[in-house]
Structure formats: C-alpha cells, structure tokens
Amino acid sequence: MTRTALRHRLAERGVDRHLLLLLPALVAVLVLFVYPFAYGVGLSFQPREGGALGAYREFFTDAYQRATLWTTMRLALPAALLNVAASVPIAYRMRGRFRGKRVLTTVLVVPITLGTVLTAEGLLNFLGPTGWFNRVLMSAGLTDAPVRLTNNYWGVFLSLVITGFPFAFLLILSYLSGIDPTLERAAATLGAGWWQRFRRITLPLLAPGLATTFCLTFVLAFSVFPSAVLVGDPAGETRVISIAAYHAAYEVYDYALAGAIAVIMGIAELVVVAAVLGLRSLLYTGSTGGKG
Amino acid sequence: MTAGSGQHFATLRLDDVTRRFAGKDALTGLTLTIRRGEFIALLGPSGCGKSTALNCLAGLLPLSGGSIWQDDRRLDTLPPERRGFGMVFQSYALFPHLSVRRNVAFGLQMRRLPRAEVRRRTDEAIRLVRLEEHAAKLPGQLSGGQQQRVAIARAVVLEPSLVLMDEPLSNLDAKLRLEMRTEIRRLHQSLGLTTVYVTHDQEEALSMADRLVVLRDGRVQQTGTPEELHTRPANRHVADFMGYRNLLPMRVGRVSGDAVTVQGAGITLSGTAVGTLSTGDEVVAAVRPEDLTVGDGGVPVTVEVVEYQGREVAVEARTDDGRRLHLRAADRPAPGDKITVVADPARVLVFPL
C-alpha cells in the first residue's frame, strides 16, 4: 500500500495525520498539568484524619476558612464586572479608525506588562496614607485625615481593576471590531439614534463576547494572591482563598487541606463560569457580519 | 401617508455637493434635482464617487461643501436618523440577531408606531417581497436573493420619501440579478418611491432608471435619460461606459457641419462630430461593436477571435496596422479570414480628446 492511499483512507475517517504533531505538546500537558492536577485532587481526599472527605469537612466547618470563599467572591465579582462595564464604553468609542488610536490603545494596555508586584508598589506609593493622592486631598482641604485606600479591600480591588482592565478592554475591542459597522449605519437610516443603535444592535451582538470576557477576567481576579498580600489586609478583610491554600500548604504543611481548598476554588470558579455561559447560550451567538 | 414616516417632497436638490477625503476630492460639485417619483441611477466605475454621493445623501458622510435641500428644508445638517430615507446596502446589512420580521419592523418601532400598525405594515412589506414563509427565520438562514428582498422590505416599509440603493444586486448571481432588477422596477412602479440607485453596471442603470447621472473621478460627466446617454454620450468616457467598445485615436480630415472624416493607422472613417472639431485635431472615434458590420468597401481586417453569442457572433479582428476592432457578424467567420467592415457614419461618434 502506498503512503498516499493510507493518508486518503485516514482522511476518509476524518483523521488528519498532521495532528500527530500535537503528541509532544499533549505529553507536556499530561506531565506538567494533568498529572499534578490529578495528584492534588488525590491528595485532597487523603487527610491525616477524618476519612476521604475530612479535609473538605475541615474547610467548611471552620468559619475562618469558609469566609475566604466569600471574601474572594466579594473581590473578584465586582472587579470583573467593573472591568467589563468600564471597557464597553471606552472600546465602543474606540471602535472606529481615528488618529492616535494606537497610542491610546497602548496606554490602556500597558498595565498588563507591569505585573502585580509593580502595580502594588505603585498603589502603595500613590494611594498610601502619605502618597500623592492623599497629600493632594489634604492640602486641598478636602479631608483632614488620609483616606485609607491601601492595605484593605480597596487596595486589592483597585489592583485587580488595574491588571484586569487591559485584558477586558482588548478582548472587547476585538469583539467590537468583529461587528460589521454597516449594521449601525443601517440602523441609523432606519431612524435609530445612537443609544438605540447601541442597545438594539451593537449590545446584543456584543453580549456573548461580554460574557466570555467576564468569565476570563473573573477567573483572573479569583486567583488573586500577590496583591491581596501586598496592598491588602491578608490576615483580615482580604484573606482570599488562595492565601488560605498557601497557608495550609506551606505554613501548616497540610497538603490534603491545601488540595481540598484548591479544588473548592476551582469548583467555585466553575460554578460562576457555568452560570454566565448558561446565560450566554440564551443569546444570539452567530455571525456578526464583520471580518472578525 | 402614515404619520411618522418621512415627509414626501416635490423636489430634492443637491447643490454643489462636495466631499473630500484626506485632501482628495471624492465628489466635486454634484448638482442634481430629483423630482418626486423619479428613479435616478448614479453610474460610474469604482472610485468615481457614486457611493460617496449616496452616503452624503443618506447622512452617513458629512459634506465638505455644498448643501442638500428637500423643498425648502435643509437636509445636509441633519443626522441620518432624522432624514427619513430608506437605504439598501450592498452587503444588505441585515441585523443578524433579529428575525426577518423584526428586521423589517425595526424602523417602524424606532418611529414608536402603535403595535398593531407595526404588525400590519410589517406583514404587508413581507408579503410585498414574497417572504411570508421565511418571516420567522434569521437572516443567516436565507439565500442571497432572499436577504436582498428583506433589505428592500426593511427600507420600503417606512414609506420613505427617498430610497437609496448602493449596488444592491452586485452580490447576486447573473440570473437572480435579472430577476431582482425586474422586481425592484416593479416595486418602484407600484409604490411610486423616489429612488436613487448606485451601480457600475450600465445595462442595469439603462434598464431601470428614468434618468442617469454618469460620474467619473468625482465629477458629473453627463445627466440624461437612458436614450440620451445611449445614443448621444457627451464625451468619450461616457461613450466608453455606454458600450462603445471601439475607441480609436485618430486625426480629423474633412469637416462639414457635423459630418467629419477621420484618419489614422491606415483607416479612414466617416462619423458624426460631438462638439466642434477642425481639421488636424486629435480625436477619438467611438463605435459600438453592434454598429460595425461586415460589408463591402470598408476597412479590411483579419479575424482573430470568434465568440458565439446566440443570434450572432462577436468577432475580434485586427486591421493591417494592428488596431483591434470589436464587431458583430451574422454568419460565422473563421479565425484568419480576411473581411471588410463598414459602419453607418451616424453611429460613429467623434469626440475631441
């Protein structure tokens, strides 16, 4: 049998031999991701005491541990929502072509490159009790005592917005440019003002993209760790779930509990993502007429 | 006339409408008066400014100069949503997330008409374009021709004072294009809608429009009825566009009134002057292929390519000096045959360069 014949016979069954080139990557994923993941899940079911579900029971019966779930949600959900909500009008204004678009996009996206530690340091300097922000407020006589915006909830929240916004903005900008601009022009000739054009045409076509963007920024914010420590209050208000996991693993050396917390973290994220994607499936998700 | 629709007018006047893009004139001094009920075609090659003109009319492009008047009301300062014109886009621009029915109803809803009236008029428009069975479908589930009909229904359901069509048939196959051409013309006749239709297809423009405006490089070349443009093109560019495929650079010999004799590359032709010419002028002689026929005592040529076209054949031939001529023949010459061709002097138009 010739080589071509084999290829054609495989093609008939929907097998593309070139897919075999994916094998090395697949091995890497298995070794570096699937195995440690399965190992961690396995560990979570082998606590020192309390049976297979002991670690989970420990997490949920301890109010201090249990509260981390709510603390993280309280940070990640509003931050993701704000990132999406703030990106929409900005991206909407920037959807066309105009002079300086590239510069403006770069300015908006640069925080991605900063990393959380640098962002946290900047926040501390700028928004801290003796930072510029408070000094301006106080010298203007707007407040007597510095406004506390760091080492608490707001510090972490702001850090999540600074690092999450560029992602949301870039994604939404690309979703928007995938919508054929002629549609809005058509709506205009049919008598729709700018708000109706946005609400009736652009927003429904953009909504699935917003849902996806929300999921991604939410997951990003949910795993917040460095900024929760650096600009937050890691023992109190911003003791997020990743801190609990870190504490269990590297300070108490209770790998079962750490594994259980990680699994709970994943499930919590999945629940939110599934809920959002469930709502998304109710929307129109077909072609948006643009070039993508 | 239903409340809320665009007001109908006696005349729509474009006065010296000009549009520049980055310092370059896309449209220069377009002046045109459109009477109520007229079907006007803006015709020209791509980049001639015809779509620019349409977008200026629709309000999708601001003017760089000039003004647009609907009777005594100035329009060019109004945004598109307040002009009350219907527009059919080349890409149809149907809202992909709305059903056919809701696409058609969109404009009526924007005018805040009562629900019952929206329903009645939407049904009527869908019936008009014969899409009753498809009313609940999304645009993505329709064929190109059906999408086109939705776009037309969506534009005419508002009974707009003016319908603008931007090459609406260019995305359809040849057969469908012919059908839709008749359909648009039928709609125009039954609804009496004033229409401005942009196309690069001279046949389409000639067959549909009451009046044509030929544009080139942003400037009007000629305005007139299909007959006027077909038989009396104003210059060689219009002639080129109107199917005068033989455009021969020549030199004027004898002139007596309109009748001129032109010579060049070993050929002598008798023709009709368009404009004033005098002996020795460089000119272009324009002849349609169907006006060049095989006959005795004409220009000797050698047949090169023969295309079968049903009733007759299209022939490409070459003169002894190597000039290419396009003509029609009733019987079928073979490539390599030597024939002579003649043309009625009335059908040979001679344009100054």
Share of chain A above pLDDT 70, in %: 97
Min distance B232 CA to chain A CA atoms (Å): 37
pLDDT at position A113 over 90: no
Residue numbers in B near A284 (CB within 8 A): 96-97, 138
The residue ranges of every structural domain in chain A are: 65-280
> Which of B60, B89, B140 is the closest to A287 by Cβ?
B140
Distances (CA, A) of A70 to A63, A222, A237, A265, B197: 11, 11, 11, 11, 62
Min distance A172 CA to chain B CA atoms (Å): 19
CA atoms within 13 A on the CB side of B15: 14
Give residue A3's pLDDT.
60
CA atoms of A212 and A171, how far apart (whole Å):
9
Name the nearest CA neighbour of B285 among B309, B319, B314: B319
For residue B176, how many other CB atoms are within 10 A of its CB?
A: 17
Give residue B2's pLDDT.
38
CA atoms of B239 and A171, how far apart (whole Å):
52
CA angle A157, A231, A247 (to 5 degrees): 100
What integer is the mean pLDDT of A13-39? 90
Give residue B5's pLDDT.
42
CA atoms of A187 and B95, how far apart (whole Å):
9
The residue ranges of every structural domain in chain B are: 11-237, 245-352
**CA A236 to mean position of chain CA atoms:** 23
Looking at domain B245-352, its CATH superfamily turns out to be Nucleic acid-binding proteins (2.40.50.140)
A189·B81 Cβ contact <8 A: yes
At B143-190, the pLDDT tens digits run 988 999 999 999 999 989 899 999 998 888 888 888 889 888 888 988
pLDDT at position A79 over 90: yes
Give percent helix, percent strand, percent coil of chain A, each to the nearest 5. 75, 0, 25
At A123-179, the pLDDT tens digits run 999 998 888 899 999 999 888 888 888 899 999 999 999 999 999 999 999 999 999
B96·A288 Cβ contact <8 A: yes
What integer is the mean pLDDT of A47-73? 92
User: Which residue type sits at B241?
Assistant: F
B324 against A3, higher pLDDT: B324
CA atoms of B82 and B70, how far apart (whole Å):
13
* CATH for the A65-280 domain, from 1.10.10.60, 1.20.1530.20, 1.10.3720.10, 3.30.70.1230: 1.10.3720.10
First to last CA, chain B: 51
Residue B105: strand, helix, or coil: helix
Task: For A180, name the nearest residue in chain B, comparing CA atoms only.
Answer: B93
Min distance A196 CA to chain B CA atoms (Å): 8
* CATH for the B11-237 domain, from 3.40.50.300, 3.30.43.10, 3.40.50.1010, 1.20.140.90: 3.40.50.300
Give residue A96's pLDDT.
81
A190·B97 Cβ contact <8 A: no
Read off the tokens for B353. 């360069």
B110·A284 Cβ contact <8 A: no
Residue numbers in A near B95 (CB within 8 A): 183, 186-187, 201
Residue B67: strand, helix, or coil: strand
pLDDT at position A241 over 50: yes
What integer is the mean pLDDT of A21-41? 93
pLDDT at position A217 over 80: yes
Give residue A290's pLDDT.
57
Chain B residues near any Cβ of chain A (below 8 Å): 58-60, 79-87, 89, 91, 93-97, 106-107, 110-111, 138, 140, 154-155, 158, 164
Complex ipTM > 0.90 = no
Give residue B95's pLDDT.
95
Least confident of A110-119, A265-274, B287-296: A110-119
pLDDT tens, N- to C-terminus, chain B (353 residues): 333 344 678 899 999 999 998 888 899 999 999 999 999 999 998 889 999 999 999 999 999 999 999 998 999 999 999 998 999 999 999 999 999 999 999 999 999 999 999 999 999 999 988 899 999 999 999 998 899 999 999 999 998 989 999 999 888 888 888 888 988 888 898 888 899 999 999 889 999 999 999 999 999 999 999 999 998 999 999 998 888 999 999 999 888 888 899 988 778 888 999 888 888 889 999 999 989 888 887 888 999 999 988 888 899 999 888 889 999 988 888 898 898 998 888 889 999 88
Least confident of A110-114, A157-161, A226-230, B208-212: A110-114
Give residue B1's pLDDT.
35
Task: For A182, name the nearest residue in chain B, comparing CA atoms only.
Answer: B93
B196 close to B163: Cβ distance less than 8 angstroms? yes
Phi-psi region of B278 (alpha: psi -120 to 50; beta: other; left: phi over 0): beta
Burial class of A59 by CB neighbour count within 10 A (0 to 12, 13 to 18, 19+): buried
For residue B26, which phi and psi values (nearest 5 degrees)? Answer: -90, -30
CA atoms of B196 and B199, how far apart (whole Å):
10
Give residue A291's pLDDT.
45
What integer is the mean pLDDT of A227-235? 90
A261 close to A59: Cβ distance less than 8 angstroms? yes
